[in-house]
Amino acid sequence: MQDFSTSIHPKVTPVKLAMVAIIPCLLLIGFWLRINNLGSLSLIVDEGHQALAVNGILKHGYPLVPSGLAYLTIPVYQYFQYVAALVFGLNEFSLRLPGVLFNLASIPMIYLFARSLFDSKVGLLSAFLMTFSVWEIEVSRYARGYAAFQFFYIVSLFTFYKGFIKGERLYQFLVVPVFLLTFVFHPLGATLIMAFCVPFFIDSYGPLKKWLVLLCAVLTAGGFFICVRTLRFLDSLFYTAPALPTTNTKSISLESIRRAIKANFHTPELGLLKQLYAQDYWLFLALCGALVATVAFLLYGMYKGKSDRMETLFVLPIIASCFLYQFGVALVLFCLYALLVYRGIASLKTMPSVVLYVSAILTFLFWFSYATWSAVEDFSSSKYFWDYPKLYDYFLQWMFGGWPRFTLVTCGGLLLMGHLFFKDRTRGNYIFSVLLCLLLPILASSIYWPYYVPRYAFHLYPLLIVVFAFTLCALSAAVQKKLVTTLGKRLQRQRIAGPIVEACALVLLAVFLSQDVYPSQALAISNRTYTSTKDAIKAAQSWETFHQDYKTPGLFVKARMTDRDIVLVLGASHVPSIFYHYIGRVDYVLMMPHEMPGNGLTFAAMPTDVGLIHYATGSVVLRDGHALERLLTSVRRARVWILADFQTAPQDTVRRLRLERVFTGQDGRTSVYMVGSPSAAPETPRRDVSFSQ
């Protein structure tokens, strides 16, 4: 009797049919893990900003928040939430639903991406890990655009690989618009510009193709700039808050440029260089002279034809980094240099390479000796020599802290891919995985972003999964090839049992090594309560180990307050937005000190012609605890409802003013206090700024 599968197509086997059926099953399981009890818990962190923005779209057609600003953080994603709110109403479920759907779409997308790079086995294992990943489930249930950004990031890499590595013309036309769409979902999409570096590492890439890559890179960079300018124009167009104090912004000074760089980029520490210039000026001039002489020697050798032009130009920034004692930067650039020029040991013994080695050794000895001799306060080589770029702060601390075994296996896979690429430099899939999937985006992100939390590396996690899956499949293939036992010979005679045993072994090994695919933890996420503990790294917010309850305290106040009561919120900048969503207004806020103007890189207090207001809710901002005390002691006839976030309620003020706690949230930590008797005559909340001075 003819086999049914072979009657359809001679190459179709039962195993392949089973593989096709796996993806729909994973989608069903993944959907249930993400959608179950999606709206049962309160909004947290920046979900409050999203709620106010979507409410603004429902009322005005654009994300106008109560402060009068247009909240244009990921505006495209806000309209997805708007559509969900039209269907299900504005609530926790509708705000979180788009993230679930985008994360669900990432499962087949990562399968297609991994299959294109390697094979279906790697693709299926990657899709399996994505489905049951605790981190993926956690962030997908968070009402911000990280899951959507991750999806489009994978789509962008898939499009670029198909277009410029495999050479498919249709995908080449799609690269620029897909990259721009990804950038709209998050500014870290700008790191995709690093993709255009990859073809220059592949030997089979001709000059005309490289010019095409450069053209697309210029178009993409121009598109990023236009997107930024468009968002700024829309922000000013929809701005309806009270007028800001007028300032002279016509002239652009070097100081303003420096502040802009500081606000958007991490910059290396150059204290040693400044000290050398101030205290040992002649030694500083000698160092500069050595740098100039080294550069001149290399350029002269290139002019005389004694060294390759590309190698010479590439080592110049590495040598400059060494002279500035940025040896971490030098090491990263040297790895890229080796990937670019390595053709055997002899390729690393050329004149530019030798000059680089000598410069690195001498500059390291010079700076280490100078720091030791001059007795630099709190000197450490890790801080001064290896701290920049901040790969550890941005990426490594979270990966080794949350997934140490997974990270080690992935690092081994990257080394294996690099080895395979060196054996055949036309194999674009290996260098694409090493450079574009991980190293270049991590390097760019560690320089670009002003502060680091795990979710800002979330878009890279599926790429790590692909490398991890490839490593396990390569290990499985090596074991099958080397260890042929009696059991193995017996399985080879069976058409189905062998692949099934291999698949089960791969899944079990992946579950053990990944440290993220635990069915019990995946199920526990949707059944979480306000007192359940959360993983501090894998949670959507990395500083809370539980899900804070803002909803029940907010609804408690809303049900009992009058129109003339005063609502005051103590908490970080996101807390007023959440309580505004549940209560309908917030009159005064007292925030964290670093969120006030002039105290940090981020700000949540906006100066206007009526004083400081919260940038989302428009609430009057109290500068410190003394302003809070003056407000509370001046109230005579009105009731003041105080909603205190557990991290920021000043307990000394609570005790000194004898605040009465009238309610505590289901988490046992979020409190409601009341000042004034229930029978007190109501008083209209004041909008003056006397208490915020």
> Considering the domain boundaries, does residue 418 fall inside one?
yes
Which range (311-320, 426-435, 519-528, 629-638) has the least confidence? 426-435
Query: Does a structural domain hold residue 545?
Result: no
Residues 432 and 572 placed together within one structural domain of the fold: no
pLDDT at 521 over 70: yes
**Res 261 pLDDT > 80:** no
Residue 447: per-residue pLDDT: 73
Average pLDDT over residues 515-540: 86
Name the strand (E) or helix (H) holding 612.
strand 611-614
The two tokens of residue 324 are: 């500035």
pLDDT value at position 240? 66
In contact, 309 and 298? CB cutoff 8 Å:
no
Please give the Cα distance from 332 to 344 (Å, whole number).
20
Range of the structural domain that residue 572 is part of: 551-692
**Residue 99 reports pLDDT greater than 80:** yes
Q: pLDDT tens for residues 69-84?
A: 888 888 899 999 999 9
List the strands of the sheet with 671-675, edge to edge.
605-608, 611-614, 620-622, 588-590, 566-570, 640-644, 671-675, 660-664
Q: Please state, in angstroms and rounded to a whole number, the distance separating the CA atoms of residues 142 and 243.
A: 34
Nearest CA-CA partner of 239 in 70, 60, 73, 71: 70
What pLDDT sits at residue 479? 81
pLDDT band at 162 (very low <50, low <70, confident <90, very high): very high
Lowest average pLDDT, out of 132-136, 161-165, 375-379, goes to 375-379
DSSP code for 245: P
Average pLDDT over residues 225-247: 71
Element of type H or E holding 660: strand 660-664
For residues 568 and 439, state if they share a domain: no
Mean pLDDT in residue range 663-670: 90
d(CA 638, CA 636): 6
Nearest to 614, CA basis, from 592, 636, 631: 592
Same domain, residue pair 216 and 70: yes
How far apart are the C-alpha atoms of 497 and 492, rounded to whole Å?
8
Residue range 659-669: average pLDDT?
Answer: 87
For strand 611-614 and strand 605-608, is the pairing parallel, antiparallel, or unpaired?
antiparallel
Verify that 68 and 202 share a domain, yes or no. Answer: yes
Chain length of the chain: 693
Location of structure tokens 């769409």? 181
**Residue 492's pLDDT band (boundaries 50, 70, 90)?**
low
The Cα 373–Cα 270 span in angstroms is 17
SS (H, E, C) 392-406: HHHHHHHHHHHCHHH
pLDDT in tens, 14-69: 556 666 788 999 999 999 999 999 999 999 989 999 999 999 999 999 999 998 88
Q: How confident is the model at residue 683, as a pLDDT?
A: 43
Say yes or no: 368 and 400 in one domain: no
State the Cα–Cα distance between residues 428 and 198, nearest whole angstrom. 9
Residues 488-495: contacts with CB under 8 Å, at least 24 apart:
495/13, 495/14, 495/15
Q: Is residue 531 part of a domain?
A: no
For residue 637, tell me if it sits in a domain: yes
Distance separating alpha carbons of residues 477 and 482, to the nearest angstrom: 9
If we measure between CA atoms, which residue out of 621, 604, 603 comes closest to residue 612?
A: 621
Counting Cβ atoms within 10 Å, is residue 539 exposed (0-12), middle (13-18) or buried (19+)? Answer: buried
Domain boundary among 514, 530, 564: 514
**Lowest-pLDDT range of 13-17, 54-58, 316-320, 665-669:** 13-17
**In the predicted structure, residue 688 carries a pLDDT above the cut 50:** no
SS3 category, 641: strand
Find all residues with CB under 8 Å of 504, minimum gap 6, and list them. none
DSSP symbol at 594? G
Number of structural domains found in the chain: 3
Residues 204, 153, single domain; the answer is yes
Tokens of 305: 């034809």
| Residue that wins the pLDDT comparison between 465 and 594 | 465
Which amino acid type is present at position 267?
T
Cα–Cα distance, 69 to 58 (Å, whole number): 15
Helix ranges (H only) for 386-439 are 391, 397-402, 404-423, 428-431
Q: How high is the pLDDT of residue 53?
A: 95
Closest CA to 121 of 438, 480, 440, 415: 480
Residue 250 lies in a domain: no
Beta bridge partners of 640: 566, 675
Residues 501 and 562 in one domain: no
Would the pLDDT of 684 be above 50? no
Average of per-residue pLDDT values in the chain: 82
Question: 106-115, 447-456, 501-510: which has the highest mean pLDDT?
Answer: 106-115
> From CA 685, how far away is CA 265, in angstroms rounded?
41
The answer as to whether 593 is a domain residue is yes
Does residue 680 carry a pLDDT above 80? Answer: no
- State which of 466, 489, 514 marks the end of a domain: 514
DSSP letter assigned to residue 682? P
- Confidence (pLDDT) at 245: 47
Residues of the chain with pLDDT > 90, as a percent, come to: 37
Q: What is the pLDDT of residues 457-472, one digit of tens each?
A: 899 999 999 999 999 9
Answer for the pair 67, 617: CB distance below 8 angstroms, yes or no. Answer: yes
For helices 14-35 and 92-117, angle between their N-to-C axes, nearest 10 degrees: 150
Burial of 335: CB neighbours in 10 Å, binned 0-12, 13-18, 19+: middle
What would the two tokens of residue 413 be? 């896979």
Among residues 341, 344, 337, 348, the alpha carbon closest in space to that of 314 is found at 337
Residue 500 covered by a domain: yes
Q: What is the mean pLDDT of residues 234-246?
A: 63
pLDDT in tens, 535-584: 888 887 766 788 899 999 999 999 999 888 999 998 888 899 999 999 99
Tokens, residue 162: 């198909």
Q: What is the DSSP letter of 645?
A: -
Average pLDDT over residues 623-648: 80
Is residue 354 domain-shared with residue 400, that is, in the same domain?
A: no
Question: What's the longest Cα–Cα distance across the chain?
Answer: 94
Contacts of 500 by beta carbon, 8 Å cutoff, 6+ apart: none
Residues 27 and 100 in one domain: yes
- 590 and 473 together in one domain: no
Q: Which is more confidently placed, 115 or 13?
A: 115
Task: With respect to residue 218, please indicate whether it lies within any of the assigned structural domains.
Answer: yes
DSSP 62-123: S-B-TTS-B--SSHHHHHHHHHHHHHH-SSHHHHHHHHHHHHHHHHHHHHHHHHHHS-HHHH
Q: What are phi and psi of 611, to 5 degrees?
A: 110, -165
Of 175, 220, 167, nearest in space to 193 by CA: 220
| Cross-strand pairs, 675 | 640
DSSP code of 374?
A: T
Judge whether 657 and 579 are in contact, CB under 8 Å. Answer: no
Give the residue-averaged pLDDT of 112-122: 91
Provide the pLDDT confidence category of residue 8 given band limits of 50, 70 and 90: very low
> Domain check: are 402 and 362 in the same one?
no
Q: CA–CA separation, 376 vs 271, rounded Å? A: 10
The string of pLDDT tens digits covering residues 181-215 is 999 999 888 888 888 888 887 777 778 888 898 99
CA–CA–CA angle 285, 291, 296 (5° rounding): 125
Nearest CA to 310 out of 256, 264, 350, 365 is that of 350
User: Is the confidence at residue 686, as pLDDT, over 50?
Assistant: no
Check whether residue 585 and residue 679 sit in a common domain.
Answer: yes
3-class secondary-structure state, position 279 = helix
3-state class of 224 per DSSP? Answer: helix
